[in-house]
Amino acid sequence: MPKYSDLPTVSVSVEVAASPAALWPIISDPATPVAFSEELAAAEWMPPHTGPVEGAVFEGTNQHPAIGEWKVPNYVAVCEPEKEFGWDPGGPDAAWTRWRLRTEANGDTTTLTFWAQMGFGPSGLTPAIEAMPDREEEIVARRLGEWEASMVATIKGIKAIAEAAA
The 3-class SS string of 92-150 reads: CCCCCEEEEEEEEEECCEEEEEEEEEECCCCCCCHHHHHHCHHHHHHHHHHHHHHHHHH
Element (H, E) at 17: none
pLDDT averaged over consecutive 10-residue blocks of the chain (166 residues)?
Answer: 83 98 97 92 95 96 86 95 95 83 96 90 74 81 91 97 92
Q: What is the pLDDT of residue 155?
A: 97
The pTM score is 0.91
Single-letter residue type at 125: L
Residue 114 phi/psi, 5° resolution? -115, 125
Q: What is the pLDDT of residue 92?
A: 76
Domains with residue ranges and CATH for the chain: 4-165 (3.30.530.20)
How far the first Cα of the chain sits from its last, in Å, is 41
Q: What is the pLDDT of residue 160?
A: 97
Dihedral sign from CA coordinates of 122, 125, 130, 134? negative
